Every structure is written in C-alpha cells, then in structure tokens.
Amino acid sequence: MATKQIRPTKLELSILNVLWQKGPATVREIHAIVNESKPTAINTVLRMLQIMTEKSLVTRDDTVRPQIYRARYSQQQTQTHLVKDLIQRAFDGSVKEMVMRALSTRRLSPKTLKAMEKLLEEFEGDDK
C-alpha cells in the first residue's frame, strides 16, 4: 500500500466493504447499502468518499456522471496492511504474541484448529 500509514475508520471500512463486494459504484449505490446496516445520511457518505479520495483509499472517475468510486486497494491488500500495522503498534512486532492473544479470545472448532495446524506445518516447511 502507500508509504504513509493509512488507517481507515469504521465508516471508511464499511464503504470499502461495499466497493469490494459490489465493485465500482456511485454515491447513491454505496449509500443504499451502507444505510441498510446503519442509518447514514447520503451527505455523510459523499463526504467520506471525498476524504477517502484524498487519503488514496478510493479513486473517483470524473469522466462520467454520476461519478464512480472504486477501492484503490484490494480487500486482501488492505487487510494485510492493517494486520502489519496492528502487529507493530500493539504487539511490538511479534506475530506470535498477536496470534496467541487472538487464539485466547475464543474457543476454536476442531476444523479451524486442524486448518491452523496445516498452515503452521506449511510455514515450518518453508523454514527447512
């Protein structure tokens, strides 16, 4: 992602989620979806999209009317950036500490544990 730290707010993430699921959209289309889960004024969505454009979270196509907004980064890129940022800020760079804390917050199903074991085995295999 960009060089500077970008930390989307909760509302910005909800807008990004709409764009990741729906694809490019107008303010009205984005507002309709965001408004379903949390009542939000269309002017608020418009202002957030303007801010998100300035922060380089979205791009705006000004060649068409109404304007079309697109997420600048994929959901995976954004999640990776946010996780890296969290690891650095909250866990002093320790992936192990973050994973241990995450695992301690809830009971995992046997299926999830098995998938995690498989993933760890793959990572351990990369080190050999």
Residue-wise pLDDT tens digits, 42-59: 999 999 999 999 999 999
Residue 126's pLDDT band (cuts 50, 70, 90): low
Asked whether residue 31 is assigned to any structural domain, the reply reads yes
pLDDT greater than 60 at residue 2: no
**What are the tokens at 116?**
């995690």
Predicted pLDDT of residue 1:
47
CATH no. for residue 61?
1.10.10.10
- Do 11 and 89 touch, CB atoms closer than 8 A? no
* Residue range(s) defining the domain that contains residue 41: 10-71
Predicted pLDDT of residue 96:
85
Asked whether residue 58 is assigned to any structural domain, the reply reads yes
Q: Using alpha carbons, list the distances in angstroms from residue 93 to 82, 105, 120, 126.
A: 13, 20, 19, 21
Asked whether residue 126 is assigned to any structural domain, the reply reads no
